């Protein structure tokens, strides 16, 4: 029901101000009695007071049973209604198969399903339904090469993105990694992060790639992607860029990273989030153990978002441990470069202008690392860290505990250090 209609009805029966009605609707929304997008300019005029109407909309997309599609196809072939005129039988079969394998739903198929299986029947209502699904971070509205509209649901795509970005020696890559510990995130939350990146940061893109494990956006001089692995609780955000676009690359990396953190923090409070930033210079050298910074100052966790600004004394200044000459603009966010900084950056990167193999990662993946997955992940504000040293053991009585001679044995020397290191 449109917001103004409800407002008019209430004004005629009860003396309420718009502010009072706002409070009532907000309370009912928070209690789950209705759905109202108070802060969404497109959806704010509408109040969804019949929740089954919304759930039926979700059921249309999230159909995992092949028999449902077979039933739909049989119903379509036997129908002579006006709704069927949107599609031919061959088109219906082709578009439904494409959606089941690629996650791309043509707008004709979308409209047909809504008109036959939901209460969103008229064209204005179908538009609202699309906006509603976007608000749930389920679909991304895209334009096909032939100019027709389509909706992408990465969850259903059967292809996967490589965790490394295709690049050449002229491009540099920023890499931030998020790890979600504590109460595990549901699998669909990772898909929502990828869709949120597309909906929020792909307005001027040359091409979009959405896959089951993430999404990639390609622009002229900046390419970025978000790849997730829900089993390990890891999200990798990479931004590859022409050196002349280093400031823009920082803006993209910071925005996507903080947007992902904010989305998780505001919905899964029991989830603990850690963020690593890897040295891009080590990436150019293909170093398997790059310098890294845990929870850099530009990452905005909940507590930091509540602060007006970060005090200089609290800022973490990142430097590469392996090469102190790495330009500042590659290690810490910067909004503009002076001519001298541009010249220094160009001179520094000229040493790395060789081609980099497309399928080779610029930094180690967690699967390839011989360090522990949690070797330096800790949360901001924690005052205690446990450090561990690992070395091979020579004691025969320990080796006898293991059956395979091919396994490397270790003894553990653990100690606890209190305070920041």
Mark whether 118 and 180 lie in a shared domain: no
Report if residue 53 sits inside a domain. yes
Three-state DSSP at 229 gives: strand
Mark whether 129 and 234 lie in a shared domain: no
CA-only gyration radius of the chain, Å: 26
Alpha helices of 62-201 — where are they, by DSSP H?
Answer: 66-77, 89-102, 107-117, 123-135, 187-201
What's the pLDDT at 86?
78
Of 146-150, 268-272, 350-354, 409-413, the poorest mean pLDDT is in 409-413
CB within 8 A of 268, min separation 6: which ones? 183, 185, 189
Report if residue 164 sits inside a domain. no
Report if residue 98 sits inside a domain. no
Mean pLDDT computed over 122-133: 93
Q: What is the DSSP letter of 383?
A: -
CB of 261 closer than 8 Å to CB of 280: no
Which pLDDT band holds residue 415 (cuts at 50, 70, 90)? very low
Which pLDDT band holds residue 403 (cuts at 50, 70, 90)? very low
What tokens were used for 216? Answer: 């990639």
Mark whether 304 and 414 lie in a shared domain: no
Mark whether 317 and 410 lie in a shared domain: no
Beta pairing partners, 196: none
Mark whether 180 and 35 lie in a shared domain: no
Mark whether 178 and 242 lie in a shared domain: yes
Mark whether 277 and 331 lie in a shared domain: yes
Per-residue pLDDT for 380 more than 60?
Answer: no
What's the pLDDT at 143?
84
Mark whether 114 and 189 lie in a shared domain: no
Instruction: Indicate the residue among 300, 330, 352 that finishes a domain.
Output: 352
Q: How many CB atoms lie within 10 A of CB 337?
A: 18
Which pLDDT band holds residue 62 (cuts at 50, 70, 90)? confident
Which carries the bigger pLDDT value, residue 306 or residue 281? 281
Mean pLDDT computed over 357-364: 40
Report if residue 211 sits inside a domain. yes
Q: What is the CATH number of the domain that holds 276?
A: 3.30.310.200
The predicted-structure confidence for 265-299, as pLDDT tens digits, reads as follows: 999 989 999 999 999 999 988 888 999 999 999 99
d(CA 93, CA 108) in angstroms, rounded, equals 12
d(CA 291, CA 29) in angstroms, rounded, equals 46
CB within 8 A of 101, min separation 6: which ones? 156, 157, 158
Q: What is the DSSP letter of 84?
A: G
What order do you get walking across the sheet with 104-106 strand by strand?
A: 104-106, 149-152, 140-143
Mark whether 307 and 191 lie in a shared domain: yes
Mark whether 395 and 247 lie in a shared domain: no
Mark whether 129 and 244 lie in a shared domain: no
With CA atoms as reference, report the closest residue to 353 among 345, 363, 365, 364: 345
Kindly provide the b/e burial profile for residues 141-177, where b requires at least 16 CB atoms within 10 angstroms of the residue's own CB. ebeeeeeeebbbbbbbbeeebbbbbebeeebbbbbbb
Maximum Cα–Cα distance across the chain: 88
d(CA 238, CA 163) in angstroms, rounded, equals 9
Q: How many CB atoms lie within 10 A of CB 250?
A: 20
Q: What is the DSSP letter of 186?
A: P
Report if residue 254 sits inside a domain. yes
Mean pLDDT computed over 120-144: 92
CA dihedral 389, 394, 396, 397 (to 10 degrees): -20
Per-residue pLDDT for 40 more than 80?
Answer: yes
What tokens were used for 189? Answer: 């939350």
Of 50-64, 72-86, 194-208, 363-377, the poorest mean pLDDT is in 363-377
Backbone angles phi, psi at 136, to 5 degrees: -80, 0
- Tally of structural domains, the chain: 3
d(CA 156, CA 138) in angstroms, rounded, equals 11
Mean pLDDT computed over 315-334: 89
d(CA 362, CA 352) in angstroms, rounded, equals 13
Per-residue pLDDT for 65 more than 90?
Answer: no
User: Distance of CA 305 to CAs 258, 261, 267, 281, Å?
Assistant: 10, 11, 16, 29
Per-residue pLDDT for 366 more than 70?
Answer: no
Lookup result for tokens 């990396």: 253
Per-residue pLDDT for 405 more than 50?
Answer: no
Report if residue 369 sits inside a domain. no
Single pTM value for the model? 0.77
Mark whether 263 and 406 lie in a shared domain: no
The predicted-structure confidence for 329-351, as pLDDT tens digits, reads as follows: 999 999 999 999 999 999 998 88
Tell me what percent of the residues of the chain surpass a pLDDT of 70.
74
- Residue 186, domain extent: 172-352
d(CA 103, CA 213) in angstroms, rounded, equals 12
Report if residue 376 sits inside a domain. no
What's the pLDDT at 201?
84
Which carries the bigger pLDDT value, residue 32 or residue 12? 32
User: Distance of CA 50 to CAs 1, 35, 246, Å?
Assistant: 10, 8, 48
What's the pLDDT at 146?
80
Per-residue pLDDT for 358 more than 60?
Answer: no
CB of 364 closer than 8 Å to CB of 289: yes
d(CA 325, CA 199) in angstroms, rounded, equals 38
The predicted-structure confidence for 239-264, as pLDDT tens digits, reads as follows: 999 999 999 999 999 999 999 999 99
Mean pLDDT computed over 378-394: 52
Report if residue 147 sits inside a domain. no
Which pLDDT band holds residue 5 (cuts at 50, 70, 90)? low
Per-residue pLDDT for 81 more than 70?
Answer: no
With CA atoms as reference, report the closest residue to 164 among 207, 103, 219, 213: 213
Which carries the bigger pLDDT value, residue 319 or residue 352? 319
* pLDDT, averaged across the chain: 80
Tell me what percent of the residues of the chain surpass a pLDDT of 90.
46
Per-residue pLDDT for 408 more than 70?
Answer: no
Kindly provide the b/e burial profile for residues 261-285, where b requires at least 16 CB atoms within 10 angstroms of the residue's own CB. bebbbeebeebbbbbbbbbbbbbbe
């Amino acid at each position: 029901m449109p917001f103004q209609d409800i407002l008019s009805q209430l004004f005629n029966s009860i003396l309420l101000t718009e502010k009072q009605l706002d409070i009532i609707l907000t309370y009912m929304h928070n209690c789950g009695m209705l759905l109202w997008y108070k802060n969404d300019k497109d959806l704010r005029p509408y109040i969804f007071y019949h929740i089954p109407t919304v759930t039926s909309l979700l059921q249309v997309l999230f159909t995992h049973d092949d028999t449902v599609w077979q039933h739909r196809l049989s119903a379509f072939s036997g129908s002579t209604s006006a709704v069927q005129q949107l599609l031919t039988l061959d088109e219906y079969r082709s578009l439904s198969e494409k959606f089941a394998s690629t996650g791309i739903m043509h707008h004709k198929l979308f409209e047909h399903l809504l008109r036959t299986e939901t209460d969103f029947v008229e064209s204005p209502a179908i538009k609202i339904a699309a906006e509603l699904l976007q608000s749930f971070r389920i679909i991304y509205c895209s334009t096909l090469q032939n100019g027709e509209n389509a909706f992408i649901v990465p969850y259903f795509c059967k292809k996967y993105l490589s965790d490394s970005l295709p690049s050449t020696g002229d491009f540099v890559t920023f890499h931030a990694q998020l790890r979600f510990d504590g109460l595990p995130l549901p699998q669909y939350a990772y898909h929502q992060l990828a869709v949120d990146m597309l909906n929020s940061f792909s307005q001027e893109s040359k091409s979009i790639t959405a896959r089951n494990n993430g999404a990639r956006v390609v622009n002229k001089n900046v390419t970025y992607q978000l790849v997730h692995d829900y089993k390990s609780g890891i999200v990798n955000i990479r931004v590859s860029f022409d050196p002349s676009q280093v400031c823009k690359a920082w803006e993209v990396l910071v925005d996507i990273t903080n947007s992902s953190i904010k989305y998780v923090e505001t919905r899964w409070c029991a989830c603990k989030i850690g963020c690593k930033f890897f040295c891009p210079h080590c990436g150019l050298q293909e170093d398997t153990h790059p310098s890294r910074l845990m929870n850099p100052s530009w990452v905005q966790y909940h507590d930091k978002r509540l602060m007006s600004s970060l005090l200089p004394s609290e800022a973490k200044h990142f430097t590469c441990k392996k090469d102190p000459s790495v330009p500042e603009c590659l290690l810490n966010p910067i909004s503009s470069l002076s001519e001298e900084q541009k010249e220094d950056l160009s001179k520094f990167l000229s040493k790395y202008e060789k081609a980099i193999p497309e399928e080779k990662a610029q930094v180690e993946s967690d699967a390839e690392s011989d360090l522990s997955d949690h070797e330096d992940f800790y949360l901001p504000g924690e005052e205690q860290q446990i450090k561990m040293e690992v070395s091979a053991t020579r004691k025969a009585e320990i080796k006898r505990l293991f059956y395979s001679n091919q396994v490397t044995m270790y003894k553990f020397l653990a100690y606890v250090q209190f305070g920041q290191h």
